[in-house]
A and B are shown apart, each in its own frame.
Chain A
Amino acid sequence: MRPLSQLIVFAIVLIALFALQNASALEHNIAGSGQLDYEYVPTARNGNANAGTYNAFDGFTLEAAAKLSVDVNEHLSANVKVCVGCHGFEPDMFYFDYRFQDELDLRAGRFSPSFGSFVLRHDPANQKLTDKPLPYDMGRMLRKDVWNNGVLPAPFPSNGLEVNGTHWFGDRVQLDYAAYAITGFRNDTDAYPVDLNFIESHSPTYYISTNGRPAFGGRTAITVKMGNASDMSAGASGMYGIYDPHDRFSYLILGGDLSLRVHHTNVRMEYLVRRQEMDTDDPSLFKYAVSPQRGNFFVKQGAFAELEQPLVTDLDLVARLDGMTRNGNVLATSPLSSNAYVIRETLGLAYAFDRNFRVKTSGELWEFSGPDPTTGRTTEVSLHLGVVGTF
């Protein structure tokens, strides 16, 4: 579906909703957010984000979204969300929830399946920093093309079904679960696929998979309330799928997350690992000789730890340490080695002029395992200045 068509469909849904407002018991809510971020990279001032592999962002980036939530009746609800960002207009959500009871909900449509805790707050309005942690990065990291983004770029909407639910043990312990079958990731373009092609996942032409096999996954999390304003949550997630048209190569993503909230202080940690099979039928494509044993896959790991602490009223401090590693063979054309890593340290401030209008600023120090072939640098610095509004 073309971006213009998506916008028209969303507009029709909105108009229909308002037309029905007085004639039925529909409850609805419309929310939206928009973030404008300027990323400046003084160590790569002449870099061009759109020119090639080694590049830097040096301009404005907009991430905006509008969401419509409708409670059709006490069991059935629907959510529609469209967003505009680097990829243009895209439907981030279009799904129905049929809730039999708290422990059993059936979700069908297009949605981001339950994986990790970050996806729940992936919208820029829900974060105090302007960019995502590296394991979930979708195109904002330096050297993004070389790394092919994060371990699991967020959001990751897909078509499918999900069964989820929540159960309380007393009034202090909450157990959440989810299991799903979705279209999943793909790479239909490359003759010898070696990695997921995230561009295809948000291609406006198709939202289908050509291999016909759904990807499967699930998540479980436990939350313990330790007091009126304190809780701790731990979760585990997994996803498995086939990504090529000939059903030959798989990916497996596993994740663990832990978050702690004590009054207004938040500590969050997540770890993700992706095991990605590659087509090694043509060994001449690779930088290293293909090992006969365990030579047909690579492993990409990512993790972050984040501290969010209010300093005074309306002013928050955020400190984050995140990084990724990639182990395994690489294409001969890649500047990466078989053991590559990137580490980033971030310090940021977020000031709320208004409850719905916030300014974010941050500085990032990057350390790469390999040098930039142009500048020879392994260390980079980037600065962010962003504004986010919500309604």
Chain B
Amino acid sequence: MSVRLLSLLVASLLATLASIACTDFVPEVGPIRATAAAPDCGASGNEYDQVDAGMCGEPDANHD
């Protein structure tokens, strides 16, 4: 087997693994649910800002 063919195979394998890692191993989440935050957060759509500002819920709960 030539070095060139082997390199191609290895590159192909690495690309496949990288593709899998970037999709099947990267979960997605939606916005923090209103009921999961403190009562005064409500469902205003500003949960991120409120939580980040430490106004309600857990400080820095949606990203840290």
Task: Please report A residues at the B interface, Cβ cutoff 8 Å.
Answer: 273, 275, 284, 286-291, 293-295, 297-299, 327-329, 332, 335, 337-341, 369-371, 373
Question: Which B residues form the contact surface with A (CB < 8 A)?
Answer: 23-33, 35-36, 58-64
Which residues on B sit within 8 Å (CB–CB) of A273? 25
Task: Contact check, B35 vs A291: say whether CB atoms are below 8 A apart.
Answer: no
Chain B residues with Cβ under 8 A from A286's Cβ?
33, 36
CB distance from B63 to the nearest CB of A (A): 6
Contact among B30, B35, B59, B63 with A332 in the assembled complex (CB-CB below 8 Å): B35
| Contact B31 A293, beta carbon cutoff 8 Å | no
Q: Which residues of A contact B60 (CB under 8 A)?
A: 337, 370-371
Q: A289-B29, A294-B24 are in contact. List 10 more A-B contacts (CB 8 A).
A: A287-B61, A290-B29, A290-B30, A295-B27, A295-B28, A299-B25, A337-B60, A338-B62, A369-B64, A373-B58
* Neighbouring B residues of A340 by C-beta, 8 Å: 64
With beta carbons under 8 angstroms apart, the residue of B31, B58, B64 that contacts A288 is: B31
User: In the complex, are the beta carbons of B28 and A291 less than 8 A apart?
Assistant: yes
**With known contacts A335-B58, A373-B58, A288–B27 Cβ distance under 8 A:** no
A339 contacts B33, C-beta separation under 8 Å: no
Is there an interface contact between A327 and B27, defined as CB atoms closer than 8 Å? Answer: yes
Chain B residue, CB-CB nearest to A297 = B27
Closest 6 CB pairs of A and B: A289-B30, A328-B27, A291-B28, A288-B29, A369-B64, A287-B36
Are A370 and B58 in touch, CB under 8 angstroms?
yes
Contacts of A299 in B (CB 8 A): 25-27
Whether the pair A332, B33 counts as a contact (CB closer than 8 A) is yes
The CA-CA distance from A7 to B58 in the complex, in Å, is 47
Q: Please pick, from B27, B31, B58, the residue contacting A289 in the complex, using a CB distance under 8 A.
A: B31
Known: A294-B23, A337-B62, A373-B58. A332 touches B29 (CB 8 A): no
Q: Is the CB of B31 within 8 A of A371?
A: no
Contacts A286-B33, A332-B35; is A294 near B58 (CB within 8 Å)? no
Cβ of A291 and Cβ of B29 under 8 Å apart? yes
Q: Are B24 and A284 in contact (CB under 8 A)?
A: no
| B29 in contact with A275 (CB, 8 Å) | no
Shortest CB distance A298–B (Å): 6
Instruction: Name the residue in B25, B35, B58, B59 with the highest tally of chain A Cβ atoms < 10 Å from its Cβ.
Output: B25
State whether B36 touches A332 (Cβ < 8 A): yes
Q: Which of A284, A294, A332, A337 contacts B27 (CB 8 A)?
A: A294
Q: CA–CA, A349 to B59, complex, Å?
A: 37
Residues of chain B with a CB closer than 8 A to A289's CB: 29-33
